[in-house]
A and B are shown apart, each in its own frame.
Chain A
Amino acid sequence: MPDITLSRPVPVTTEAPLIRGLLIGVALIFVALFLFAPLVTVFVEALRQGWVAALDALRLPDALAAIRMTLTIAAIAVPINAAFGIAAAWAITKFDFPSKAFLITLIDLPFSVSPVVAGLMLVLLFGANSTLGGWLIANDMPIVFAFPGILLATLFVTFPFVARELIPVMIEQGRAEEEAALTLGASGWRIFFTVTLPNIRWALLYGVLLCNARAMGEFGAVAVVSGKIRGETATMPTMVEMFYNEYLSVAAFTLAAVLAMLALLTLLLKSLLEWRHADLLAATRRH
């Protein structure tokens, strides 16, 4: 047998250094090409004619109206979604009733429905040619091509975010703490605010964060129900499309850059939550 010296052998649970290097290299190139390149492009295209042109584009009345619309929608849709998520999680995790699994499937359903089909559903339900829609329009409460339609579309596509984050966390935490508070004479609301909420606050924040990102960024469903009326029902993403189709490239990409910065902020906050509170989130522990 040849004389073997102690050249650092490779542990058995990893690959040879060459293969490791190769895989890291391919992964980095893949991420650079498929994730970073599009992101960088947004900013490059926005600044193609300089800062001034970009900032001017943001001052266009249509752009301002779209930003206002998106912020308003998010400000209403996210709290409703959070309220739904908390109510659903409370009912599902604190009580025993039949067909819970079916209920959870229903809550998850919007994730597997195309946003365009979601928009289509709302148009069929509330559009001018439906009974309900006709009556609502006759009574001056239009839903499609108006604010309520955009809100409903946003709610549909963001529907599962908070609930599916809270339910696993609350299942894991069990009912013992709430029951203990009950024996100490606390009322329902008091239990919720002093026992449950502190336990789920990071998971709630996490769900709200993802919900908000999707609410501000939704395109397909909103495009279908909003009618994309400039200055009235156009949101930031639909305005991006309109600017782009009118060859107003700088305006389109500047508005897109604002959305991209929002996305980056979301990622940053999300990463912070994951690093600091990983043990209190469902997302970082899911199987």
Chain B
Amino acid sequence: MRVGILRSPSPLPGFGLSFGIMTAILSIVVLLPIGALLGRGLMIGPADLWDMLNSRRIWSALTLSFSAALIASLFNLVFGLMLAWVLVRYRFWGRRFIDAAVDLPFALPTAVAGIALTALYAPNGVFGQALAPFGLQVAYTEVGIWVALVFIGLPFVVRTVQPVIEELERDLEEVSATLGARRAYTLRRVILPTLTPALLTGFALALARSVGEYGSVIFIAGNIPNITEIAPLLIVIRLEEYNYDAAAAIGIAMLVISFAMLLVINAIQTWSRRRIGLA
């Protein structure tokens, strides 16, 4: 019966087995749980969902989660691009070491990053003390959330842009110079547009990751309702109160907003790819 799925018969064996294992694990691990959340949403019904979401605390948390993720991802867009450029184009002592270190946020557990950042930026921490004279408090403020999300999102931008910079054709930069363009003009008009699709992909990945980030944020955020309380934390709180419907409502809201955002970014990406003749 499985073979009926195939568009064209293949002489290779193992379709039934591999397709079976894949669908079984995919269903148990991913599809069933997502179905449970969406099913819960359907059972509650859109009107009640809206009622549950329509509170100042939830709107503040959702707004904070998305705006902080946006700010951190924009920051990473700039610094990630710079870091990728430096790592690909310049030769300096320690380059390979830095290159390997960029993946640290992928490898370091988020809770570890969270307590380390908090220790650094707390009023009695090294950075906290250094910033205090300037009236800057990072830990237990929204700025602290930005710092944690910058840490989490950085490798996404660097690692998506890096290979594209490596494959840039030098001809384009050279021809631009022979046409009289200064270096800055070449960077702005020739190189940046070529990197735009990759930058958008990196940005989208960093954004998706930071919106839902929990472990690295809760330690440094202070978690004051309406001010520094992120949406995932609110889900955890509702779950601890056994208020499953309210938790599900926030979870669904996060899913919907995330997908809407990714759709928009996807659309921009397709448009910009078409512009540089990739699609």
Contacts and interface: CB of A to CB of B under 8 A. Distances in A.
Chains A and B in contact, CB within 8 Å: yes
B50 to A, nearest CB: 19
Interface string A203-234: 00000001001001111100110000000000
Contacts of A26: 82
Given A15-B183, A94-B12, A95-B10, A38 B37 contact: no
B244 A218 contact: no
Interface in A3-43: 12-16, 20, 23-24, 26-28, 30-31, 33-39, 41-42
B120 to A, nearest CB: 5
Nearest to A256: B112
Contacts of B94: 28
Main secondary structure on chain B at its contact with chain A?
helix
Q: Chain A: interface residue count, which band?
A: 35 or more
B13 interface: yes
Q: Which 5 A-B pairs have CB atoms at the shortest separation, nearest pair first? A: A114-B212, A217-B109, A121-B33, A219-B215, A188-B13
Interface residues of B, number: 102
Contacts of A15: 183
B203 interface: no
A20 B95 CA distance: 14
A267 B211 CA distance: 25
A197 to B, nearest CB: 13
Nearest to B28: A152
Contacts of A213: 106-107
Contacts of B107: 213, 217, 263-264, 266-267, 270
Interface of A: 12-16, 20, 23-24, 26-28, 30-31, 33-39, 41-42, 45, 80, 83-84, 86-88, 90-92, 94-98, 106-107, 109-118, 120-125, 127, 129-130, 152, 155-156, 159, 175, 178-179, 182, 187-188, 191-192, 210, 213, 216-220, 223-224, 236-238, 240-241, 244, 252-253, 256, 259-260, 263-264, 266-268, 270-271, 283-287
Contacts of B10: 94-96, 175
Contacts of A118: 33
Contacts of A266: 107
A115 B214 contact: yes
A115 B15 CA distance: 32
A23 B85 contact: yes
A75 to B, nearest CB: 17
Given A27-B86, A84-B22, A95-B6, 12 more contacts: A27-B98, A41-B126, A80-B25, A84-B21, A87-B18, A95-B19, A109-B34, A112-B212, A113-B258, A156-B33, A240-B112, A256-B112
Contacts of A223: 214-215, 236
